[in-house]
Amino acid sequence: MMHRNPTLITGGMVVTETSVAKLDILIEGEKITRLANTISPESGWEIIEAEGSYIIPGGIDPHTHLQSKWEGLETSDDWYTGTVAAAVGGTTTILDFCRPDSNSTMMTGLREWKRRADKHAVIDYGFHLVIREVNENSLNEMKEIMEEGIPSFKLFMAYKDSLQINDGDLFRALQRIHELEALAMVHCENGDVIEVLIEQSVAKGHLAPIAHALTRPPELEGEATGRVITFAEIADAALYIPHVSCLQSLQAIQTARQKGLKVFGETCPQYLFVDIGFLNKPDFEGAKYVWSPPPREKWHQAHLWEGLNSGDLLTIGSDHSSYDFKGQKELGLEDFTKIPNGGPSIEDRMSMLYHFGVAKGKIGISQFVNMTSTNAAKIFGLYPLKGVIAEGSDADLVIWDPKRKRTISSASHAMNVDYSIYEGVEVEGAPMRTIVRGETIALNGAFVGRAGTGRFVARKLDSRQQANLTKEAVWR
Ligand SMILES: [Zn+2]
């Protein structure tokens, strides 16, 4: 470990999950070692003045796809560019989806993902393991994967003939997740019905980007969400629903949480700010907004904000999966089914939520911290190592300037992708400094760190912390 002098951050408003207070923070090595109203500096300490700024726990993005493939096509962001963009945007830890090749074991996939991240990632990271097939081998292997520090598994109810798992297999996997006290993450869309709608759309010659959204209606997301919740309830498995895009899915989650079930919902910035109308943009630009589940009619957005406020949606994941418009999205010019699914969101996740959430008065600053960091730490077994500003925690911090204004644009962003889904949007509030385990790696929107400083974090779930994020059972 590189030796560093102690660092004192002074005069900032320290935000935790429940409070905001003016506190000094002492960092020694990689840890926060003291928090106090005033800490007198000693000679040799580095002093960072944070007057007028918030100091928040570094963002935790629980949902990324770096150097990932969609039908053989590789995302434009790899582990270096993707984590640099995350750092510039205020994120200090990501949980990325490790998806083994169809013919390889989960352990082989894991080794490959570790190889990709190692020496490239600039922030800390963990993985979720995608279960492509449920059988004796994969069910056994789940235990070994957990012993590697990966207690969260992803299953798909969509993408027929590739990733989709049938109901029986899904249920068996959920039973195994219960046995192992792991966490299930399930992509909720009814893949069988979507396949029929796609075939019919293609047959009618409806091939433009908008057909992507029209063949994946919100009812099919709501139906799948309710279905997997039912299975998880019978199997008594903890369940995380990523990328909730619509009221139908939110309602299924709310019903489950009213019963006190361990069901956690995530939404993504793109569902709060991009609606189905974007897919109708001229000159094929609608393809920039093709991801799954797709953008919905605008009225869903108010419900998602309500879900965030009620705590039924607990986290904001980016679902970052970036493909260039030129040369990649364009592959679907004649046929929407050939457009690679995904959008770039890792860098602006926190800025967009801060500006339209905190600055516009929709959510408080502590809620912002919970949604962008603390709740993910609690659900995924990173707390209190990460996700909180406390003595003994990793010094993963962001000094957030609530007044700094900037205009989001692909001309200035750090992501390695040729467009922005928020092009031209002006936001107020941005990270001034991003610190990972005591080291400053981004300053005023510029990356100042080195490749490979990010580290794999082995996780272990904490059922008590998870339980704290469920609703009191009303009928037990
Ligand atoms: Zn995803």
Does some domain include residue 418?
Answer: no
pLDDT value, residue 476 = 36
- Helix then strand then coil, in percent of the chain rounded to 5, is 35, 25, 45
Q: What spacing in Å lies between the alpha carbon of 411 and ligand 1's midpoint?
A: 25
What residue type is assigned to position 73 of the chain? L
Residues 6+ apart with CB under 8 A from 97: 63, 64, 65, 68, 127, 128, 130, 154
Q: How far is the CA of 26 from the centre of ligand 1 (A)?
A: 37
CA distances from 337 to 101, 197, 292, 421 (A): 21, 12, 12, 20
Q: Are 80 and 347 in contact (CB under 8 A)?
A: no
Distance 65 CA to ligand 1 centre (A): 7
For residue 27, report the distance from its CA to the centre of ligand 1, in Å. 34
Residue 29 lies in a domain: no
In terms of residue numbers, what domain contains 171?
58-383+459-467
Provide the token pair at 98.
Answer: 């490790």
The string of pLDDT tens digits covering residues 189-236 is 999 999 999 999 999 999 999 999 999 999 999 999 999 999 999 999
341 in a domain, yes or no? Answer: yes
Query: What per-residue confidence (pLDDT) applies to 475?
Result: 41
Residues pairing with 299 in the sheet: none
We report the CATH number of the domain holding residue 295 as 3.20.20.140
Q: Angle at Cα 284 formed by Cα 278 and Cα 286, nearest 5°?
A: 20
In a domain, 72, yes or no: yes
Number of domains in the chain: 1
Instruction: Report the separation in Å between the CA atom of 9 and the middle of ligand 1, taken as the mean of its atom positions.
Output: 36
pLDDT under 70: residue ranges of the chain: 1-2, 472-476
Residue 63 CA to ligand 1 center (angstroms) comes to: 6
Q: How far apart are CA 410 and CA 97, in angstroms?
A: 25
Q: How far is CA 15 from CA 23, 120, 370, 399, 456, in A?
A: 9, 30, 10, 10, 26
Could you tell me the distance, in angstroms and rounded to a whole number, from the CA of residue 405 to the centre of ligand 1? Answer: 29
Please indicate, yes or no, if residue 391 is contained in any of the structural domains.
Answer: no
Residue 6 domain-assigned (yes or no): no
**Close Cβ partners of 412 (under 8 Å, ≥ 6 residues apart):** 406, 445
Cα–Cα distance for residue pair 331/251, rounded to 1 Å:
36
Is residue 155 a part of any domain in this protein? yes
Residue with the two structure tokens 């107020």 = 428
DSSP 149-217: T--EEEEES-STTTTB--HHHHHHHHHHHHHHT-EEEEE-S-HHHHHHHHHHHHHTT--STHHHHHTS-
Ligand 1 center–CA 430 separation, angstroms: 25
**Two tokens, residue 435:** 């610190």
